[in-house]
């Protein structure tokens, strides 16, 4: 299924064919297949995308893209669909999502194959991503019967104060390459049951993954003619066309990507509602009582899974001095023997980086770490025993000198810190310039010893991002401190498990430069609705709030 000696191009075409897309001509035939790629035959196209597999750099195909002129049709279709969809009972909307979940189960292997060949994930991770789509569909179906408001006590006699949540309007989902399907599903499943059309702008690097999913959605729409076709649109376009200025009619922009991209979206979106899932730069603290066997497994999976290209990838590790050498030794052995190569090969755990630019960013970060006094283990490109043309690397473990927090650094400009203020020797002179402050989307794990948990937490929080965090300890007080207001400042705070692998039942997201958005479970559905407070007077009189008298 995952290889059989075939090229990535052959495998992608085979998977697409099973999804109903016969060949590349069909893929690019906008006249006959507007349902796959939304710009119509009468509209000019934008600059085409050349899609390549990170496995060996092979060109998979070229796809046409939308121009700004072609966006007008998307707007018309979405807004027209909204007028019908918003008045469709939520459980009926949930039935559409339920049946989508069934189709995702039916085509789970085909969708996972697209992820393997276009992203470079190993099959287990690709299958897990499709399972996330299935899970969020199940969650959303139940949610469709629980979109609740409140009844609030009124100060006026024979009045009822009521809060409702109503459909918001067209939602735009901008997804990143590293989770080319799941992030869209997190948003789309909830947006649909909440009564909104969804416009999907995927990463240009993973257009085929989006086309494969969209083909399934469009097939379902033909089977359910009562559902307006315009609730689902796919737009393949470059960054110029994707600028928020072209999408001011959208009611919510949900964007996943870099912090830089998030700032651009938030600034250009003006007063349009945004839901931002941005950089991670996630940290973990390993305490003296930690189960080291569990710790090593959590660290390695968190740091090297998806070749370090998850938003929840573990990037900073703080280990108590009493366990530092033990953890260091175990990690070096694990990194040295990691099976790296073609992700379709059984037993491989680490596939390629997405492209050459990712490799160059990794090397630049490692050089910066060396210049800061860091000791770099591994991180080199691998060319033997892997497909030519791909960017395969051995994940890097970097031992960094102990540093002070930025606040301590500022204080030190006025009064020199005492030895009790610092964690240990070899303290960096300017922590504000550390490469550890920046998220490099590659498998680099920075490692540092600590002696005091309060200081370790301060160092953990001393970055601009705030997505995922973890503490490994068997001390209840340490665990509770980390989960408290004085502990981790991230949106995801874990105890005795890694930073990766969030379940869909909880709200997913983080604070600070991570963007503050929350997707998936819990009450994240409220992002896709507007809140209305209504006062119903059934008294036959007109008493005013606050006891105001206004007699005519």
Domains defined for the chain, CATH in brackets: 8-278+518-531 (3.40.605.10), 282-406+432-507 (3.40.309.10)
Whether residue 424 is predicted with pLDDT greater than 70 in this model: the reply is no
Average pLDDT value for residue range 497-505: 93
**Which stretch of 151-155, 331-335, 419-423, 508-512 has the lowest confidence by average pLDDT?**
419-423
Q: Which tokens in the block code for residue 105?
A: 């189960």
Give the pLDDT confidence score for residue 408 in this predicted structure. 75
Q: Which tokens in the block code for residue 195?
A: 């009564």
Task: Give per-residue pLDDT as tens, 204-244.
Answer: 999 999 999 999 999 999 999 999 999 999 999 887 787 77
Give the pLDDT confidence score for residue 240 in this predicted structure. 79
- Compute CA distances 307 → 13, 148, 181, 260, 391, whole Å: 25, 41, 18, 22, 11
Give the pLDDT confidence score for residue 34 in this predicted structure. 42
Contact between 503 and 128 under an 8 Å Cβ cutoff? The reply is no
Average pLDDT value for residue range 264-272: 84
Give the pLDDT confidence score for residue 175 in this predicted structure. 96
**Which stretch of 61-70, 73-82, 486-495 has the lowest confidence by average pLDDT?**
61-70
Whether residue 37 is predicted with pLDDT greater than 90 in this model: the reply is no
Task: Give per-residue pLDDT as tens, 123-132.
Answer: 999 999 999 9
Give the pLDDT confidence score for residue 69 in this predicted structure. 76
Task: Give per-residue pLDDT as tens, 166-213.
Answer: 999 999 999 999 999 999 999 999 999 999 999 999 999 999 999 999
Give the pLDDT confidence score for residue 252 in this predicted structure. 96
CA–CA distance, 194 with 265 (Å, rounded to integer): 23
Positive/negative CA dihedral, 12, 18, 21, 22: positive
Burial label for 92, CB within 10 Å (0-12, 13-18, 19+), is middle
pLDDT level of residue 112 (50, 70, 90 thresholds): very high
Contact between 298 and 284 under an 8 Å Cβ cutoff? The reply is yes
Give the pLDDT confidence score for residue 30 in this predicted structure. 31
Task: Give per-residue pLDDT as tens, 368-409.
Answer: 999 999 999 999 999 999 999 999 999 999 999 988 887 777
Annotated catalytic residue, options 277, 372, 399, 408: 277
Average pLDDT value for residue range 295-307: 98
Give the residue with greater pLDDT, 69 vs 56: 56
Give the pLDDT confidence score for residue 36 in this predicted structure. 38
Average pLDDT value for residue range 277-295: 97
**Which stretch of 166-175, 243-252, 339-348, 463-472 has the lowest confidence by average pLDDT?**
243-252
Q: Which tokens in the block code for residue 92?
A: 């009926």
Annotated catalytic residue, options 194, 287, 311, 490: 311
pLDDT level of residue 266 (50, 70, 90 thresholds): confident
pLDDT level of residue 552 (50, 70, 90 thresholds): confident
Give the residue with greater pLDDT, 12 vs 133: 133
Regarding beta strands 519-520 and 507-508, do their DSSP bridges make them parallel or antiparallel, or are they unpaired?
Answer: antiparallel
Q: Catalytic annotation on 420? A: no
CA terminus-to-terminus distance, the chain: 81
Give the residue with greater pLDDT, 102 vs 44: 102
CA–CA distance, 497 with 493 (Å, rounded to integer): 10
Q: Which tokens in the block code for residue 119?
A: 């992203």
- How many CA atoms lie within 13 Å of 359's alpha carbon, on the beta-carbon side? 16
CA–CA distance, 220 with 97 (Å, rounded to integer): 10
pLDDT level of residue 528 (50, 70, 90 thresholds): very high
Q: Catalytic annotation on 311? A: yes
- How many CA atoms lie within 13 Å of 312's alpha carbon, on the beta-carbon side? 24
CA–CA distance, 265 with 242 (Å, rounded to integer): 10
Q: What is the mean pLDDT of the chain?
A: 90
pLDDT level of residue 295 (50, 70, 90 thresholds): very high
């Amino acid at each position: 299924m995952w290889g059989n000696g075939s090229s990535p191009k052959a495998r992608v075409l085979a998977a697409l064919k099973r999804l109903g897309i016969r060949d590349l001509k069909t893929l690019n035939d906008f006249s006959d297949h507007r349902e796959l790629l939304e710009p119509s035959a009468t509209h000019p196209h934008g600059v085409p995308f050349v899609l390549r597999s990170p496995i060996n750099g092979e060109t998979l195909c070229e796809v046409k893209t939308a121009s700004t002129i072609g966006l007008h049709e998307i707007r018309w279709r979405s807004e027209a669909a909204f007028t019908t969809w918003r008045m469709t009972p939520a459980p009926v909307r949930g039935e559409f999502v339920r049946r989508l979940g069934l189709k995702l189960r039916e085509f789970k292997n085909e969708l996972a194959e697209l992820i393997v060949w276009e992203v470079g994930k190993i099959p287990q991770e690709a299958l897990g991503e499709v399972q996330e789509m299935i899970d969020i569909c199940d969650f959303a179906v139940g949610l469709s019967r629980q979109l609740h408001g409140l009844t609030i006590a009124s100060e006026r006699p024979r009045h009822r104060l009521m809060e409702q949540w109503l459909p918001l309007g067209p939602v735009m989902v901008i997804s990143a390459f590293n989770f080319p399907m799941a992030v869209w599903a997190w948003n789309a499943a909830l947006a649909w049951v909440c009564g909104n059309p969804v416009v999907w702008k995927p990463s240009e690097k993973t257009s085929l993954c989006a086309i494969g999913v969209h083909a399934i959605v469009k097939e379902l729409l033909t089977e359910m003619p009562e559902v307006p076709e315009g609730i689902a649109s796919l737009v393949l376009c470059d960054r110029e066309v994707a600028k928020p200025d072209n999408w001011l009619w959208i009611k919510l922009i949900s964007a996943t990507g870099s912090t830089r991209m998030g700032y651009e979206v938030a600034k250009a979106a003006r007063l349009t509602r945004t839901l931002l899932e941005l950089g991670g730069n996630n940290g973990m603290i390993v305490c003296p009582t930690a189960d080291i066997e569990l710790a090593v497994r959590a660290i390695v999976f968190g740091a090297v899974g998806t070749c370090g290209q998850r938003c929840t990838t573990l990037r900073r590790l703080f280990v108590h001095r009493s366990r530092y050498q033990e953890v260091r030794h175990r990690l070096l052995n694990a990194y040295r023997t990691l099976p790296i190569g073609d992700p379709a090969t059984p037993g491989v755990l680490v596939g390629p980086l997405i492209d050459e630019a990712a490799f160059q960013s990794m090397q630049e970060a490692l050089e910066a770490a060396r210049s800061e006094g860091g000791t770099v283990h591994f991180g080199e490109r691998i060319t033997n025993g892997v497909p030519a043309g791909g960017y395969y690397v051995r994940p890097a473990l970097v031992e960094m000198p102990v540093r002070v927090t930025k606040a301590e650094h500022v204080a030190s400009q006025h009064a020199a810190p005492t030895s009790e203020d610092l964690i240990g020797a070899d303290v960096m002179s300017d922590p504000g310039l550390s490469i550890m402050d920046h998220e490099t989307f590659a498998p680099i794990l920075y490692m540092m010893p600590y002696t005091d948990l309060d200081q370790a937490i301060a160092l953990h929080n001393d970055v601009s991002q705030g997505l995922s965090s973890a503490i490994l300890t068997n001390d209840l007080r340490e665990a509770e401190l980390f989960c408290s207001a004085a502990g981790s400042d991230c949106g995801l705070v874990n105890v005795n498990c890694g930073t990766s692998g969030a379940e869909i039942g909880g709200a997913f997201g983080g604070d600070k430069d991570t963007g503050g958005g929350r997707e998936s479970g819990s009450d994240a559905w409220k992002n896709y609705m507007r809140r209305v407070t209504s006062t119903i007077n059934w008294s036959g009189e007109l008493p005013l709030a606050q006891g105001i008298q206004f007699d005519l």
